[in-house]
Amino acid sequence: MGLRSKSEKEPRTAESLQSDTGSTDRSLSLLVEGVVRHLPEIHPEAYQELRANLERLSLQLRGSLPENDKVDLIRSILREFESYRTQADGVLRERLAAWRGLTTALVRDLFKSRALDAGSDGALKLVRRIASLLTAEEIQGFHVLLADYLRVGGANGHTDGVALGNADRSVANDNASGLRGGGAATEHVKQILEKGSGGYVVLFRLGALDMIGKRFGWEAVQDSLMAVSAFLTHSLRSDDGIYHWSDSSLMAVLNTPASEPILTAAMQRIVDNNRDITIQIGDRPVMLRVPLHFQITPIQRLSGPEDLNRL
């Protein structure tokens, strides 16, 4: 009796073919049920309708159907999924549009409550941005931009400020900063020049004071100037001199042997540590940010203390 080679296959019987077909149908039915069970219920009514229709179709799928009928049944199942997705997408678009509309209205009301012009370029740019927000990262980015816009001196296009124009050349402490005037700074530099010792003059310019004055009044400018002068006094060394140079600038006179690059890095760290300040406007606190810019001049480059007036 001859032996069959291993490569030869046993003939498939009708019973084995039917068994394989039944197993495939059951697997397909279970797959459909699993997919439905894990679909997000975005549109409750459409979701319940989808489940009911697919349960009915899955039962038919488990029966013995001709191949053509089975293909038609699978197509019906796919159409049910497509129908649900269309309805769910429509609901999501409606919800997104509603949330964007509500957010736009709330942001405009917020501008109004802060006495901000909702028709300004900065405000309109922010409001228009709402219509394109979609991802969590985009929403978080918008939140940061909005917070900066509401914070005076932030991302509202007024970070550089304009000098208010009044120079202070007195030696008295009779200004809003709580510091001696620019005349005292001139005397300090004169003494250093006479001694022939080294040192630096650092002119700190305060941004956004003009906008603060327009929005909240002169008293708010004075409070901001006082807060910044306190910050710089705390940040500089106790033997450094700091003076009120003008309505929008403070001058520090530093008697230090440090090199200019090292001093520049130190001043930059101070400016980077500048934080929001809170002032009282009427009966409510207002958070502001006053940008700081600095200019370093070695005292040895000055031909005389009067050169300070050209900084």
Kindly state whether residue 121 falls inside one of the protein's structural domains. yes
The 8-class DSSP code of residue 117 comes to -
Q: Which pLDDT tens digit goes with each residue over 1-15?
A: 444 444 444 444 444
Query: Residue 212's domain is classified under what CATH number?
Result: 3.30.70.270
Q: What is the pLDDT of residue 54?
A: 80
222 and 126 together in one domain:
no
Q: Which residue has the higher pLDDT, 194 or 151?
A: 194
Kindly state whether residue 156 falls inside one of the protein's structural domains. no
Q: What percent of the chain has pLDDT over 70?
A: 83
From residue 162, alpha-carbon distances to 13, 165, 166 in Å are 94, 8, 12
Kindly state whether residue 144 falls inside one of the protein's structural domains. yes
Kindly state whether residue 6 falls inside one of the protein's structural domains. no
Number of neighbouring beta carbons within 10 Å of residue 1: 2
Q: What is the pLDDT of residue 22?
A: 53
From residue 177, alpha-carbon distances to 37, 95, 233, 242, 248 in Å are 68, 52, 11, 10, 10
Q: Select from 179, 194, 178, 155 the least CA-distant residue to 305.
A: 194
Identify the domain containing residue 284 by its residue range. Answer: 182-310
Q: Which residue has the higher pLDDT, 19 or 238?
A: 238
69 and 187 together in one domain:
no
132 and 40 together in one domain:
yes
Q: Which pLDDT tens digit goes with each residue over 26-52?
A: 667 777 777 777 678 888 888 888 888
Count of domains in the chain?
2
Q: What is the pLDDT of residue 60?
A: 76
Q: Give Rg (Cα) of the chain.
A: 37
Q: Which pLDDT tens digit goes with each residue over 74-127?
A: 888 888 888 888 998 898 999 999 999 999 999 998 888 766 778 888 888 889
304 and 190 together in one domain:
yes
127 and 186 together in one domain:
no
Give the C-alpha separation, 79 to 271, whole Å: 63
Kindly state whether residue 116 falls inside one of the protein's structural domains. yes
Kindly state whether residue 163 falls inside one of the protein's structural domains. no
Q: Which pLDDT tens digit goes with each residue over 66-87?
A: 777 778 888 888 888 888 889 9
116 and 123 in contact (C-beta within 8 Å)?
yes
Q: Where a domain ends, among 101, 131, 150?
A: 150
Whether the per-residue pLDDT at 21 is higher than 70: the answer is no
Helix axes 136-150, 121-130, angle to 10 degrees: 160
DSSP-derived 3-state class of residue 149: helix
Q: Which residue has the higher pLDDT, 307 or 252?
A: 252
231 and 299 together in one domain:
yes
187 and 292 together in one domain:
yes
262 and 168 in contact (C-beta within 8 Å)?
no
218 and 303 together in one domain:
yes
Q: Where a domain ends, among 100, 134, 150?
A: 150
211 and 132 together in one domain:
no
Compute the mean pLDDT over every residue in the chain, rounded to the nearest whole number: 81
Q: Where a domain ends, among 108, 129, 150?
A: 150
Whether the per-residue pLDDT at 141 is higher than 70: the answer is yes
Kindly state whether residue 157 falls inside one of the protein's structural domains. no
pTM of the complete model beyond 0.85: no
229 and 131 together in one domain:
no
Q: What percent of the chain has pLDDT over 90?
A: 32
Instruction: Kindly indicate the confidence band of residue 151, based on its pLDDT and cuts at 50, 70 and 90.
Output: low
Q: Which residue has the higher pLDDT, 54 or 250?
A: 250
DSSP-derived 3-state class of residue 61: helix
Q: What is the pLDDT of residue 156?
A: 42
Helix axes 44-62, 67-113, angle to 10 degrees: 170
28 and 116 together in one domain:
yes
Whether the per-residue pLDDT at 164 is higher than 90: the answer is no
Q: What is the pLDDT of residue 19?
A: 47
193 and 187 in contact (C-beta within 8 Å)?
no
Kindly state whether residue 262 falls inside one of the protein's structural domains. yes
126 and 187 together in one domain:
no
